[in-house]
Amino acid sequence: MIIVTRENVAGYRVVRTLGMVRGSSVRVRHVGLDLMASLRNLAGGEVPEYTKLLAEVREQAVDRMIVEAETLGANGILAVRFQSAEVSRNAAEMMCYGTAVELRPEG
């Protein structure tokens, strides 16, 4: 599966546009992570616990988007974007979306 943030892929042409695909994951805050983050906040700098959590949730959203694209018969997803939103006071959603396409090599 070719996944890009652009509207095209060098060396390929779009032969079919299959529609928008998306994947999302909702995570709740973890008391242990929040405690560690609060302690790190006193000193400033990166909070690696949250960095790791966000990386995991982004990957899960991408994986779910890929499954949806494969169901449509796509071998590429163009114009991929990420969006996050607060669902409740203690939960947030990470969404990944793009356009599922069938790509063929040029030439």
- 53 within 8 A of 37, measured Cβ to Cβ: no
List, for residues 42-101, the tens digit of each pLDDT value: 666 777 777 888 888 999 999 999 999 999 999 999 999 999 888 877 788 899 999 999
In a domain, 77, yes or no: yes
Phi then psi for residue 89, to 5 deg, are -60, -30
In a domain, 48, yes or no: no
In a domain, 22, yes or no: yes
C-alpha span between 16 and 84 (Å, rounded): 29
pLDDT of residue 41: 62
Query: Token digits for 55?
Result: 């990386």
List, for residues 4-44, the tens digit of each pLDDT value: 999 999 999 999 999 999 999 987 766 555 565 566 566 66
- Domain hosting 71: range is 2-28+58-105
In a domain, 33, yes or no: no
In a domain, 41, yes or no: no
pLDDT of residue 29: 63
Q: Work out how many domains the chain is built from and give that number.
A: 1
